[in-house]
Amino acid sequence: MTTFRCFGPSFTGVQTTSGFPVLDSIQITNFAIIDSLQLEFDSGLTALTGETGAGKSILLDAIKLVAGDRAESDTIRSGAERAEISVCFRLGDADQAHSWLTENEMSAAGECVIRRVLHVNGRSKAFINGYNATLMQLRALCDQLIDIHGQHEHQSLQLPQVQRQLLDAFLGEPGLVEQVQKKFTEFRALQQRFVQAQTGSLEREQRIDLLGLYCEELNQLNLLENEFDALQEEYRRLSNAGKLIDKSGEVLGYLYENDEQNVQSMLSHCEQELSQLLLSDRTLAGSHELVNAALIQIQEATTELRNYRDGVELDGARLEAINERIAGSQNLARKHRVEVDALPGLAVEFNRELEILQGDDFDIEAMQRELDKLQQDYMFSAGELSLKRRQTAAILSEQITRVMRQLGMDSGQFVIEVEGEQQPGAHGIDNIRYLVSANPGQPPKPLAKVASGGELSRISLAIQVIMSESSRIPTLIFDEVDSGVGGGVAEIVGKKLRLLGRDRQVLCVTHLPQVASQAHHHYRVEKFSENNATSTEVVVLSKEERLEEVARMLGGVTITEQTRAHASEMISTAD
């Protein structure tokens, strides 16, 4: 069994009564390796450190689920029926989140509690201040409370859509971006109707007849999104049920149920022998601990495997029904020359087209006038968006260039290129490209062609710092975004994160002592074995414990007085 505990005093801190919303606490039950966890946070910069694999990022994964990420049943702790994550934010009356809660009739006095419950059967539930909520509502609310920067964001930075999204986020004009998208959608829908109206009434009737047949077949099949993969997986399991039962039972015999000889009894015997030998030689403690851990793993595997074997069913009728549904889906996919997964979308598309064609007769002249008006409206809004993008791109390019140079790219130059008058689309008329020059004398070129992996990490970090500085979101979370940097650059990263923590809450998972030493609060995540159980603890460090942790991050296994002195100096330089 694994447990996840938190204890210890805070070593220092900024004022707890901040003027902005903060993530006040988180409570987690049966999530991943977490058995039970309750942890409180405060404003300012909080560092989360620990050895690799200790579970530092699990907290962030839990927060992402509360923020509306899709859940997988395998995130539930082994042996548990459900997992539960609950976070609490402190709010003020003037906060955007408070206004959102009031508008959605979910308000509570001075706080916001978001809860997510995951079940092993794949179902999940969400609650905001005790009210049932959808994932869309979780995302809408948490978009105003939390901004999460992942350690692999630099890998997606080369994608055109990501570059556009970052520029639009810095733009601060979400209404204008949505307006352009809405007007384009209206224009394209009318344009399709206009083309259909021009094909003539005979072709229209023929199309209606054909669509009627297609819709009848697809509606009768009624294949749901992602259902086909689930059907295939269930078919494989049912068709191999006998083999699964037999083989899992055979493995159980090897592990435990064979009376004459099994792995568990042999390991138990080894553990007992080593326990006796320990009385004579304590150097065998490591071997004893490993054997004891293996015995625990075998016991857990036995329980899990027995539950699996007992849960496998032989259901011939269900197998035949699934086989017929798979065959029917494949036949329709071949008929329409699409992948099976595209059938649900195709059904929606055909039904929508049929509904349009069966509607009122088309007035060609009126449609043409409306089409011209929609096009003019779209181009006006798209032109306004393009102008603001160019103005913002110049400002953002200069700011990112400044931070790049602070992060060790002394001659770096960052340019956001916005080329208008491109093919109109849902996101406007602009072609947006991120260009960079890493060396003096080189003209800026597309990011993917000139930036190395390390440079790309620094550029991504520079963008995240600038975006965070301009963001109105109160809680910022950084998940090892400092990977790939070190030395003086790492110290600059730490100082910038601490600066962000002056007027908002910042949580940072880091492996760099230069960053951890700048924190207002420091939590250490660690694993250990005790009483035949593997436990993971989150320790809120005191001043002395913080010094030892920073020293460990500096010096590794062996910590000398010189290392401690270096750690003390680093901590004392934090503003």
Structure tokens at 32: 């991943």
Per-residue model confidence (pLDDT) at position 429 = 93
pLDDT band at 10 (very low <50, low <70, confident <90, very high): very low
Q: State which H helix or E strand residue 132 sits in.
A: strand 131-133
Residue 384 lies in a domain: no
Q: State the pairing for strand pair 521-530/505-509.
A: unpaired
Per-residue model confidence (pLDDT) at position 522 = 94
Say if CB 33 and CB 2 are below 8 A apart: yes
Q: Quick one: residue 531, left, alpha or beta (phi over 0 = left, psi -120 to 50 = alpha)?
A: left
Q: State the pairing for strand pair 131-133/533-540.
A: unpaired
3-state secondary structure labels for all residues of 42-93: CCEEEEEECCCCCCCCHHHHHHHHHCCCCCCHHHECCCCCEEEEEEEEECCC
Domain assignment of residue 278, given as a range: 199-362
Distance in angstroms (rounded) separating the CA atoms of residues 412 and 426: 33
pLDDT band at 13 (very low <50, low <70, confident <90, very high): very low
Question: Between the CA of residue 115 and those of 66, 68, 128, 516, 534, what are the distances in Å?
Answer: 7, 11, 6, 30, 27
Mean pLDDT in residue range 89-100? 78
Distance in angstroms (rounded) separating the CA atoms of residues 341 and 231: 12
Beta bridge partners of 40: 25
Residue 567 lies in a domain: no
Name, in order, each residue with C-beta under 8 angstroms of 407's C-beta and a sequence gap of 6 or more. Answer: 458, 461, 462, 485, 489, 492, 493
Amino acid letter, 226:
N
Per-residue model confidence (pLDDT) at position 20 = 62
Distance in angstroms (rounded) separating the CA atoms of residues 402 and 385: 26
Distance in angstroms (rounded) separating the CA atoms of residues 471 and 2: 38
Per-residue model confidence (pLDDT) at position 153 = 56
Across 33-37, 174-178, 231-235, 265-269, the highest mean pLDDT is recorded for 174-178
Q: State which H helix or E strand residue 206 sits in.
A: helix 201-221
Q: Give the distance from CA 346 to its chain's centroid.
A: 29
Structure tokens at 468: 């965070």
The chain-wide mean pLDDT, for the chain, equals: 83
Residue 264 lies in a domain: yes
Mean pLDDT in residue range 130-134? 92
pLDDT band at 154 (very low <50, low <70, confident <90, very high): low
Residue 549 lies in a domain: no
Name, in order, each residue with C-beta under 8 angstroms of 347's C-beta and a sequence gap of 6 or more. Answer: 215, 218, 219, 221, 222, 223
Mean pLDDT in residue range 291-307? 87
Write the DSSP symbol of residue 342: G
Does 261 score more than 50 pLDDT? Answer: yes
CB atoms within 10 A of CB 65: 24
Residue 267 lies in a domain: yes
Structure tokens at 85: 């994550």
DSSP per position, 149-195: E-TTHHHHTTSHHHHHHHHHHHHT-HHHHHHHHHHHHHHHHHHHHHH
Per-residue model confidence (pLDDT) at position 16 = 40
Mean pLDDT in residue range 60-76? 86
DSSP per position, 233-260: HHHHHHHTHHHHHHHHHHHHIIIII-SS
Residue 219 lies in a domain: yes
Q: Among residues 464, 425, 379, 377, which one has the least CA distance to residue 169?
A: 464
Per-residue model confidence (pLDDT) at position 529 = 65
Higher confidence at residue 479 or residue 524?
524
Structure tokens at 132: 């049932």
Residue 504 lies in a domain: no
Mean pLDDT in residue range 399-421? 86
Q: Among residues 81, 134, 98, 77, which one has the least CA distance to residue 20?
A: 98
Q: Among residues 18, 50, 56, which one has the least CA distance to residue 37?
A: 56
Write the DSSP symbol of residue 574: -
Per-residue model confidence (pLDDT) at position 7 = 46
Number of domains in the chain: 1
- Summarised one tens digit per residue, pLDDT across range 523-551 is 998 876 666 655 667 889 999 999 999 99
Does 140 score more than 60 pLDDT? Answer: yes
Residue 342 lies in a domain: yes
Question: Between the CA of residue 123 and those of 70, 83, 120, what are the distances in Å?
Answer: 11, 11, 7
